[in-house]
Structure 1
């Protein structure tokens, strides 16, 4: 067996495990009292990163016992998981579309990277973030304005992990730059996995500063009648103020995180660092 056959064997096993993982999440997640957009986010994430996505769903979001979801997701690392997953799920669609278009029309690598960035950011920001936050912020226009910074910074770190991984693997695996090849999709899967890992720390900062929210608990109003809990309320103490329990028909409220919100100067510095990290990732991918 030559090296390429060995790689193809690994890829086949990866796709098999990914299919099982996606099937499990698709069937199971609708029993979890999570916001609908985040349910779809976990399905997409699992399609991207296979069994790692299913693992993160089970240990990061899936309700362990009835009535415990609020407390279960209140831990900071799970809130950050929800935030990062939301970013990767949305941006990933645009990035994949850009990679396919770039390959089909034979774009040069710089143009293809720019297209992937623009489509990834545009889809993640305008659809996955702003539409999801519209109910919290009152209007789509306000949601676009409020989510722009967090999406930009998170996207930069995601791409800083993805870009070099894509470039290195596509150079190393024959045929991996062809969207019609299974190797292309394996490379994109690995790249999104690395991008997820790279984006997690900045999402920790964003969530801890009240600039992004994590996971939520959504329970139908009628299921709470008689439980003394039919009024929407936060799911945790103020130490983790980045999510909310709400009824199916209740509006969402953004947490009051004014005390944690960083200054404009700090936010600009963090944004500049994110662009520097993105540039460093691209340079690394080009030169390795």
Structure 2
């Protein structure tokens, strides 16, 4: 099947300008994380990866949600629930988006159709997020064996992955349908499409991660100086104590909460859903009915993303197929007539 090739969405020099800004953003985030901001080690790498995929936007998110504004303030700075949810979303994006991008590069190399690509990418994203970024990197923090960590993380990671793919899937397909050079990892348009897809995925998955963190089903933004380096959702109100009351230091909280028991090994003695909700003081587990409802919601989001991809993109396309020169449409440089 021949496919039309429209003119590029924007001049190529803007694309290379974006890549240059991305390189600077990644360099700054990496320098700041590894020299001055006491974020958890797994999240340091998560931020670097997500900034690599999202460029200056990732830097802005990092600046306002994680970067320690002054020495000794990281615990309080990341305490608000919305920032905790940002940390969960970044962790999700680092694992899921990496799996999706690697799979997209491989499926493009083998010339598979987009309708097949997207489900291989979904499986790869879920596997990379669950088995590596969740279970492998977080098992010590959760004080579990690897197998226990996989079982514990499966449902929250699946919910988060569904939401991430609900944003990435239509973005990838629509952009690649607009310019099929974006299906090949050797093309800069591929990386531009993946950058845009990751940005949309982060936005779409944030509300789901907010719910997961609020209900103690996923960890939030962490810090090395508190809670056994594990981090846990904190009440937004904890960052602003009532007038006349002093804020308890996070250092003191380490001695009061059982989660601080394994500082050196990134360990937590309580599972995330067993820790008391800092905003409500409740440690009641989320009911199975609520989990099922949110899981169904994320599946509906994924179905909506697929519908958008099928409606506004081309799921039958594959790399290397000839394209038709349509009136008013520009062919890529070097394309055979």
One fold, TM greater than 0.5?
yes
Distance (whole Å) between structure 1 residues aligned to residue 47 and residue 208 of structure 2:
19
Q: Deviations over 1:208-265 (max 9, x none)?
A: 1100011111139xxxxxx994883579xxxxxxx97973446224341463532111
Q: Taking CA–CA contacts closer than 8 Å with sequence separation of 6 or more, which of the two structures ends up with the larger relative contact order? A: 2
Matches for 1:1-288 after TM superposition, within 5 Å: 4=8, 6-30=10-34, 31-135=36-140, 136-219=142-225, 229=251, 232-233=254-255, 247-249=263-265, 251-253=267-269, 254-255=271-272, 256-257=275-276, 259-288=283-312
The Cα of 1:140 is off from its aligned counterpart by: 1.1
- Cα 1:163–1:275 shift into 2, 3 Å: same
| RMSD (Å) for aligned C-alpha atoms | 2.5
- Cα 1:245–1:8 shift into 2, 3 Å: farther
Distance (whole Å) between structure 1 residues aligned to residue 9 and residue 153 of structure 2:
45
The Cα of 1:85 is off from its aligned counterpart by: 0.2
Distance (whole Å) between structure 2 residues aligned to residue 28 and residue 143 of structure 1:
30
The Cα of 1:145 is off from its aligned counterpart by: 0.9
Deviates more, 1:108-117 or 1:78-87: 108-117
State how many pairs are aligned: 275
Q: Deviations over 1:123-172 (max 9, x none)?
A: 10000011222111321111111110110000000000000011111111
Show the counterpart of 2:232: none
SS in 2 for 1:166: helix
SS in 2 for 1:212: coil
Structure 1, unaligned stretches of length 5 or more? 221-226, 236-242
The Cα of 1:197 is off from its aligned counterpart by: 0.4
- Cα 1:285–1:130 shift into 2, 3 Å: same
Higher Cα radius of gyration: 2
SS in 2 for 1:175: helix
Per the normalisation by structure 2, the TM-score is: 0.76
The Cα of 1:275 is off from its aligned counterpart by: 1.0
Is the Cα–Cα contact under 8 Å of residues 143 and 267 in structure 2 kept in the other structure? no
The Cα of 1:269 is off from its aligned counterpart by: 1.6
More helix by proportion, 1 or 2? Answer: 1
Distance (whole Å) between structure 1 residues aligned to residue 24 and residue 261 of structure 2:
31
Q: Deviations over 1:103-142 (max 9, x none)?
A: 1111122221111011100010000011222111321111
Distance (whole Å) between structure 2 residues aligned to residue 270 and residue 106 of structure 1:
36
Distance (whole Å) between structure 1 residues aligned to residue 260 and residue 136 of structure 2:
17
Distance (whole Å) between structure 2 residues aligned to residue 228 and residue 271 of structure 1:
34
